[in-house]
């Protein structure tokens, strides 16, 4: 196409059924568009995104020899790719397409009694889009090779599944875990609902698979320090936290033959420092040199340098293995990966801040995760359910469901449903009946949400086992100072009367929130947060694993509360999505790079410091100093172009003449 020919623009309005046509006059806007400069054809269709709709674009390009296409329809964030493809199929460069968002930003927000105003706004939007379309240029996307490796951050059940899937598809996978062992929350659970599988029994084979897989490089006690690069070429710097203990491989590398930690535990035996074990929710001790539990993967001890007194007893007992190095420092390593999956999971909220339920005020009020450890055969009590105050077997246990979930009172409370608390509370009731015949269980609930496969059936089963369901929020909990029993005050909303239930022990099914540090991590990867704080998916329905950062995907609870089956399913989805660019071998980057207009560049270098990606440099050309862009590093934000005092930086697809034309076009509409 000759560059100097007059622009010929085609405008296409979409009715979107009645979504658009129900709120503004398509007819008026089409007629108006025909009067605009450069517009050669203006047309309309029920659904522009349908095959006949797209064919209209294709045909018009050929029939009218168009140089640009405008579709006034939904958001470009939804259908820009569709119409770019249609534009391309008509024989034009796909970047000669511009969208006017007359649905999300017009018909849907000006719905009632706003017909005239919405029509006027649509005319303005089309006029502005045409002004830009007339100045669009051919752009060629840049293809970049994709590193044949992936990273999964977080090694809970979701992260492990994603890593296993990627690795089994032949992709080198780095599995990063902040704690000393993989396994995550699921390894803390005793049983899983509704099948009552032993959680560890179904999880440990996966942990072993991860440990053995030749394509997985498991990096525990490691955190993401810095993320640079873009899809296909992320350079991720990891902080390998000082563990104080050498693995056999590390020992061999240091020339200690046959050395390194073999997990014998002699060091822990002699260590004089005792600390609470966070894996056991602080209910069991660990030493300053420790493992979380017997099934850890890798079976390597870790020194807690915050509490180590450097007495060297462990070093002595370790002897010739020379596994312990109390002078170890954090190490930084950089790995290159093509794609990454975040699977950081969750924490319980600080439920003690809901003072009315007495957590941390009364001995016998515990959280649901503490209950999991108390009922677990590998837990601190060997699976004997006892109450903390006196070690007696409880004969009446209360449950507060939605403890901080579905709660709009602010503070630590969360407006959302944490999704799995109903089901694990039912499971807990069953476990109590199994272990303590004759024990009474009272569940205070708002609604029982048993939404999954075989979940409702499980609910009936627990009802038949004798659990008492009291529909009402718990207003207050008080302790009998003599017996340490608890009085639960609530209203039975089905009977319409207040209740006071005395129990030996109370379990709070606490709400969940994003894992500590997840907020910092997501920002490193450029991932947004939803209003509720969880990581934001690219599209809630159609792209639940993707994010707005190309090449970064989400798995599991970090994206929003979900149970184990949903977490594993999303992890497999994320792994599949993350493997696609790697298997394709190269990806196309949107060609929105900065370009230096060398005739205008004075070589002042102000742009160099503005660039967050170090994509700009100064260079000598024809005896002058000018700026030069490294396209592979440029992500197209335009921060340089927005500042250049000489207007010497051209931001492709968002050039100053294009934006200026849009501004002109807005005000060319005159007074409304």
Partner 1 sequence: MADEWKPKILAIICNWCSYAGADLAGGARIQYPPTVRAIRVMCTGRVDMLFILKAFVEGADGVLVSGCHFGDCHYLEGNFKAAKRMFMIKSLLRNIGLDDRRFRMTFVSASEGAKWGTVMEDVTNTVKELGPSPIKEFKK
Which residues within the stretch 590-619 sit at the binding site for partner 1 (CB under 8 A)?
Answer: 592, 610, 612-613
Q: Which of 81, 72, 74, 18 is nearest to 46 (CA)?
A: 18
| The one segment of 147-155, 276-284, 472-480, 634-642 that binds partner 1 by CB under 8 A | 634-642
Q: Cβ 667 to partner 1, closest distance in Å?
A: 4
**458 vs 405, 451, 554, 562, CA distance in Å?**
22, 11, 30, 18
Cβ distance to partner 1 smaller for residue 48 or 594: 594
DSSP 8-state code for residue 559 = G
Q: Cβ 27 to partner 1, closest distance in Å?
A: 19
| The one segment of 35-43, 50-58, 121-129, 625-633 that binds partner 1 by CB under 8 A | 121-129
Cis peptide leading into residue 580 (ω within 30°): no
Among 96, 110, 387, 427, binds partner 1 (CB under 8 A): 110
Which residues within the stretch 506-535 sit at the binding site for partner 1 (CB under 8 A)?
Answer: 523, 526, 528-531
Residue written as token pair 């020379």: 322
Distance separating alpha carbons of residues 357 and 351, to the nearest angstrom: 8
Which residues within the stretch 318-377 sit at the binding site for partner 1 (CB under 8 A)?
Answer: none
- Determine if 548 is a binding residue for partner 1 (CB under 8 A): yes
3-state class of 331 per DSSP?
strand
- Determine if 114 is a binding residue for partner 1 (CB under 8 A): yes
Q: Are 449 and 478 in contact (CB under 8 A)?
A: no
3-state class of 443 per DSSP?
strand
End-to-end CA distance of the chain: 38
Q: Report strand pairing: 222-230 vs 285-287.
A: unpaired
- Determine if 226 is a binding residue for partner 1 (CB under 8 A): no
Q: Are 106 and 23 in contact (CB under 8 A)?
A: yes
- Determine if 497 is a binding residue for partner 1 (CB under 8 A): no
Task: Report residue 521: phi and psi, to 5°.
Answer: -65, -45
Distance separating alpha carbons of residues 584 and 249, to the nearest angstrom: 34
Checking 236-239 for CB contacts under 8 A at 24+ apart, the result is 236/151, 236/334, 236/335, 236/336, 236/337, 236/340, 237/332, 237/333, 237/334, 238/176, 238/332, 238/333, 238/334, 238/335, 239/330, 239/331, 239/332
- Determine if 118 is a binding residue for partner 1 (CB under 8 A): yes
Take residue 166 and report the two structure tokens written for it.
Answer: 């990627």
Q: Cβ 592 to partner 1, closest distance in Å?
A: 6
- Determine if 464 is a binding residue for partner 1 (CB under 8 A): no
Question: What angle is formed at CA 626 by the lines to CA 623 and CA 631, rounded to 5 degrees?
Answer: 130
Cβ distance to partner 1 smaller for residue 40 or 549: 549
Q: Cβ 135 to partner 1, closest distance in Å?
A: 13
Cβ distance to partner 1 smaller for residue 120 or 147: 120
Which residues within the stretch 90-109 sit at the binding site for partner 1 (CB under 8 A)?
Answer: 101, 103-106, 108-109
Among 75, 476, 619, 625, binds partner 1 (CB under 8 A): 75
Q: Cβ 438 to partner 1, closest distance in Å?
A: 49
- Determine if 121 is a binding residue for partner 1 (CB under 8 A): yes
Q: Cβ 662 to partner 1, closest distance in Å?
A: 5
Distance of CA 562 to the CA centre of its chain: 12
Among 2, 3, 112, 438, binds partner 1 (CB under 8 A): 112
- Determine if 664 is a binding residue for partner 1 (CB under 8 A): yes
- Determine if 639 is a binding residue for partner 1 (CB under 8 A): yes
Distance separating alpha carbons of residues 562 and 452, to the nearest angstrom: 11
Reported in sequence order, the residue ranges of 46-160 that DSSP labels E, i.e. its strands, are: 68-73, 97-101, 142-145, 149-153
Cβ distance to partner 1 smaller for residue 61 or 100: 100
Q: Which of 109, 236, 218, 124 is nearest to 174 (CA)?
A: 218
Q: Report strand pairing: 331-337 vs 233-240.
A: antiparallel
Total residues in contact with partner 1, by rule CB under 8 A:
55
| The one segment of 217-225, 356-364, 564-572, 656-664 that binds partner 1 by CB under 8 A | 656-664
Q: Are 570 and 158 in contact (CB under 8 A)?
A: yes
- Determine if 22 is a binding residue for partner 1 (CB under 8 A): no
Among 29, 124, 372, 552, binds partner 1 (CB under 8 A): 124
| The one segment of 7-15, 302-310, 362-370, 629-637 that binds partner 1 by CB under 8 A | 629-637
Cβ distance to partner 1 smaller for residue 75 or 312: 75
Distance separating alpha carbons of residues 398 and 129, to the nearest angstrom: 62
Distance of CA 482 to the CA centre of its chain: 48
Among 372, 641, 648, 650, binds partner 1 (CB under 8 A): 641
- Determine if 663 is a binding residue for partner 1 (CB under 8 A): yes
DSSP string covering 44-61: EES-TTSHHHHHHHHHHH
Among 549, 559, 570, 579, binds partner 1 (CB under 8 A): 549
Cβ distance to partner 1 smaller for residue 204 or 656: 656
Neighbours of 292 (CB within 10 A): 18
| The one segment of 5-13, 114-122, 555-563, 574-582 that binds partner 1 by CB under 8 A | 114-122
Q: Cβ 185 to partner 1, closest distance in Å?
A: 25
The H-assigned helical ranges of 10-114 are 26-34, 51-64, 76-89
Q: Cβ 320 to partner 1, closest distance in Å?
A: 49
Among 4, 408, 464, 672, binds partner 1 (CB under 8 A): 672
Q: Cβ 230 to partner 1, closest distance in Å?
A: 11
Partner residues linked to 275 by β-bridges = 286
Q: Cβ 128 to partner 1, closest distance in Å?
A: 7
Residue written as token pair 């016998």: 364
Cβ distance to partner 1 smaller for residue 388 or 533: 533
Residues found near partner 1 in the complex (CB under 8 A): 75-78, 101, 103-106, 108-112, 114, 117-118, 120-121, 124-125, 128, 523, 526, 528-531, 536, 548-549, 592, 610, 612-613, 635-639, 641-643, 651, 654, 656, 659-660, 662-664, 666-667, 671-672
């Amino acid at each position: 196409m000759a560059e100097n020919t007059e622009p010929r623009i085609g405008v296409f309005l979409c009715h979107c059924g009645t979504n658009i046509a129900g709120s503004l006059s398509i007819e008026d806007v089409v007629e108006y568009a025909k009067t605009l400069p450069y517009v050669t054809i203006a047309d309309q269709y029920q659904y522009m995104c349908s095959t006949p709709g797209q064919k209209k674009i294709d045909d018009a390009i050929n029939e009218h020899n168009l140089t640009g296409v405008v579709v006034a329809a939904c958001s470009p964030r939804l259908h820009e790719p569709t119409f770019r493809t249609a534009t391309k199929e008509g024989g034009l460069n796909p970047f000669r397409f511009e969208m006017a968002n007359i649905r999300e930003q017009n018909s849907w927000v000006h719905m009632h009694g706003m017909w005239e105003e919405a029509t006027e706004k649509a005319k303005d939007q089309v006029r502005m889009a045409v002004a830009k379309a007339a100045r669009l240029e051919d752009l060629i996307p840049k293809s970049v090779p994709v590193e044949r490796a992936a990273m999964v951050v977080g090694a809970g059940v979701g992260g492990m599944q994603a890593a296993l899937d990627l690795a089994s598809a032949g992709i080198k996978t780095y599995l990063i875990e902040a704690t000393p062992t993989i396994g995550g929350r699921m390894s803390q659970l005793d049983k899983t609902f509704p099948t009552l599988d032993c959680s560890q029994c179904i999880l440990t084979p996966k942990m072993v698979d991860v440990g053995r897989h030749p394509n997985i490089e498991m990096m525990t006690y490691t955190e993401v320090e810095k993320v640079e690069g873009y899809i296909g070429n992320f350079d991720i710097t990891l902080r390998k936290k000082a563990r104080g203990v050498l693995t056999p491989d590390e020992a061999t590398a240091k020339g200690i033959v046959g050395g390194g930690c073999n997990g014998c535990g002699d060091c822990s035996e002699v260590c004089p420092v005792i600390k609470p074990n966070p894996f056991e929710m602080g209910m069991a001790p660990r030493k300053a040199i420790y493992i979380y539990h017997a099934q850890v993967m890798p079976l390597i001890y870790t020194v807690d340098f915050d509490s180590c007194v450097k007495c060297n007893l462990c070093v002595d007992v370790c002897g010739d293995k020379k596994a312990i190095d109390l002078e170890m420092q954090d190490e930084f390593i950089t790995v290159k990966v093509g794609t990454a999956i975040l699977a950081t999971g969750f924490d319980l909220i600080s439920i003690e801040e809901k003072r009315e339920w007495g957590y941390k005020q009364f001995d016998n009020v515990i959280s649901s995760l503490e209950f999991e450890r108390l009922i677990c055969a590998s837990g601190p009590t060997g699976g004997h359910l006892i109450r903390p105050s006196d070690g007696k077997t409880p004969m009446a246990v209360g449950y507060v469901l939605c403890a901080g979930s579905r709660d709009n009172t602010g503070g630590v409370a969360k407006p959302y449903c944490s999704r799995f608390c109903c089901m694990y509370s039912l499971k807990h009731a069953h476990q109590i009946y199994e272990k303590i015949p004759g024990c009474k269980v009272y569940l205070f609930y708002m609604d029982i949400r048993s939404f999954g496969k075989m979940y409702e059936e499980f609910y009936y089963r627990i009802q038949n086992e004798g659990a008492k369901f009291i529909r009402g929020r718990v207003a207050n909990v008080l302790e009998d100072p003599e017996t340490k029993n608890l009085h639960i005050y609530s209203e039975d909303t089905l009977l319409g009367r207040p209740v006071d239930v005395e129990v030996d022990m109370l379990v709070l099914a606490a709400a969940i929130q994003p894992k500590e540090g997840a907020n910092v991590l997501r920002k490193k990867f450029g991932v947004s947060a939803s209003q509720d704080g969880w990581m934001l998916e690219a599209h809630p329905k159609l792209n639940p694993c993707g994010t707005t950062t190309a090449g970064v995907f989400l798995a599991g609870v970090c994206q929003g509360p979900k149970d184990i089956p949903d977490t594993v399913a999303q992890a497999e989805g994320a792994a599949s999505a993350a493997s696609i660019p790697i298997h394709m071998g190269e990806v196309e980057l949107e060609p929105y790079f900065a370009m230096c207009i060398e005739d205008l560049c004075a070589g002042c270098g102000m742009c160099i410091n503005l660039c967050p990606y170090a994509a700009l440099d100064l260079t000598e050309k024809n005896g002058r100093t000018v700026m030069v862009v490294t396209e592979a590093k440029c992500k197209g934000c335009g921060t340089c172009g927005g500042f250049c005092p000489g207007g010497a930086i051209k931001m492709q697809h968002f050039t100053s003449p294009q934006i200026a034309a849009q501004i002109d076009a807005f005000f060319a509409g005159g007074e409304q």
